[in-house]
């Protein structure tokens, strides 16, 4: 794991965005894995700016997102698909036919198989962006007794419900989601994990310095051979 500490989220976004844009310019038909939530937004902003300045095009890029809530239609204002549309997809030239999302309302087994096959058919994910939960989750793989492999349907933990319910005003936050499994994430060729703020400091410490255990799912990244962890000073404060 390579750990880099920055002054603020904007600097992290520029660093992560540059890695991605440079890679897209070297391999225009690459496969990118995206996360939702606050952590990757400055990265997406950097990518949008580079696109607007004509420095990069995403027209041949294929994308896979990490997770989607169960029980919401894809076009619901709180779905992760809508989040991606608003924060990135509608602002760059990614083609909708190249966008892949888990369907939180599909049959779990069939959906898991479909997503695994789609990723495989594209030759795997070249760069996967991750955030980390306050409880050490990656995607929606919550702390548990075992590491998962392919996509599965997870019951969200209270910590995740507390953290994410701020985005739900008039809709009740779903209690379950379809998420890429730990195995699928670990098969990504490169991983960029972004964490900012004090609320992530303990999870970041457990991820980097703790034992590799499914009780801190992000700790598995210690076993990935090309992972870069981008932190602000607050998230790095317990290292
Ligand atoms: C979202 C996801 C989650 C978030 C994590 C951090 O697609 O997979 O693991 O990355 O919950 O969320 P933020 O960035 O909002 O703190």
Residue 33 domain-assigned (yes or no): yes
pLDDT band at 170 (very low <50, low <70, confident <90, very high): confident
pLDDT band at 235 (very low <50, low <70, confident <90, very high): very high
Residue 39 domain-assigned (yes or no): yes
Distance 121 CA to ligand 1 centre (A): 26
* 108-134: pLDDT as tens digits: 999 999 999 999 999 999 999 999 999
Q: How far apart are CA 177 and CA 199, in angstroms?
A: 23
What HEC string does the chain produce? CEEEEECCHHHHHHHHHHHHHHHHHHCCCCEEEECCCCCCHHHHHHHHHHHHCCCCCCCCCEEEECEEECCCCCCCCCCHHHHHHHHCHHHCCCCHHHEECCCCCCCHHHHHHHHHHHHHHCCCCCEEEECCCCCCCECCECCCCCCCCCCEEEECCHHHHHHHHHHCCCCCCCCEEEECCHHHHHCCCEEEEEECCHHHHHHHHHHHHCCCECCEHHHHHHHCCCEEEEEECCCCCCC
* 11-24: pLDDT as tens digits: 999 999 999 999 99
To the query of whether residue 135 is one of the catalytic residues in this protein, the response is yes
CATH, residue 11:
3.40.50.1360
Query: Which of the residues 142, 150, 206, 232 is marked catalytic?
Result: 142
Query: Which of the residues 65, 135, 141, 164 is marked catalytic?
Result: 135
Residue 186 domain-assigned (yes or no): no
Residue 234 domain-assigned (yes or no): no
For residue 150, give its domain range.
2-124+133-180+201-221
Residue 237 domain-assigned (yes or no): no
Residue 25 domain-assigned (yes or no): yes
Residue 108 domain-assigned (yes or no): yes
Total number of domains in the chain: 1
Residue 187 domain-assigned (yes or no): no
Q: Which residues line ligand 1 (CB under 6 A)?
A: 35-39, 66-67, 131-133, 137-140
* 35-88: pLDDT as tens digits: 999 999 999 999 999 999 999 999 999 999 999 999 999 999 999 999 999 999
pLDDT band at 169 (very low <50, low <70, confident <90, very high): confident
Tell me what pLDDT residue 180 has.
98
- Ligand 1: which of 39, 181, 196 to mutate, most ligand atoms within 8 Å of CB? 39
Q: pTM, whole model, 2 decimals?
A: 0.97
- Ligand 1: which of 131, 158, 174 to mutate, most ligand atoms within 8 Å of CB? 131
């Amino acid at each position: 794991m390579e750990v880099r500490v920055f002054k603020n989220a904007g600097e992290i976004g520029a660093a992560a965005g540059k890695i991605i844009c440079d890679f897209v310019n070297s391999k225009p038909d690459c496969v990118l894995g995206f996360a939702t939530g606050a952590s990757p937004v400055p990265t997406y902003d950097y990518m949008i700016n580079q696109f607007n300045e004509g420095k990069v095009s995403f027209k041949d890029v294929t994308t896979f997102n990490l997770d989607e809530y169960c029980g919401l239609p894809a076009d619901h204002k709180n779905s992760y698909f809508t989040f991606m549309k608003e924060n990135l997809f509608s602002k760059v030239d990614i083609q909708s036919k190249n966008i892949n999302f888990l369907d939180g309302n599909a049959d779990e087994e069939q959906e898991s198989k479909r997503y695994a096959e789609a990723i495989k058919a594209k030759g795997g994910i070249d760069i996967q962006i991750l955030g980390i939960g306050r409880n050490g989750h990656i995607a929606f793989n919550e702390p548990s007794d075992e590491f998962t492999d392919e996509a599965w349907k997870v019951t969200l933990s209270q910590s995740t419900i507390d953290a994410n319910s701020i985005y739900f005003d008039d809709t009740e936050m779903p209690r379950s989601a379809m998420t890429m499994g730990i195995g699928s994430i670990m098969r990504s060729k490169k991983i960029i994990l972004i964490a900012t703020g004090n609320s992530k400091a303990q999870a970041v410490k457990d991820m980097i310095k703790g034992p590799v255990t499914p009780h801190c799912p992000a700790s598995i990244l210690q076993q990935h051979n090309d992972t870069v962890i981008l932190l602000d000073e607050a998230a790095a404060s317990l290292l």
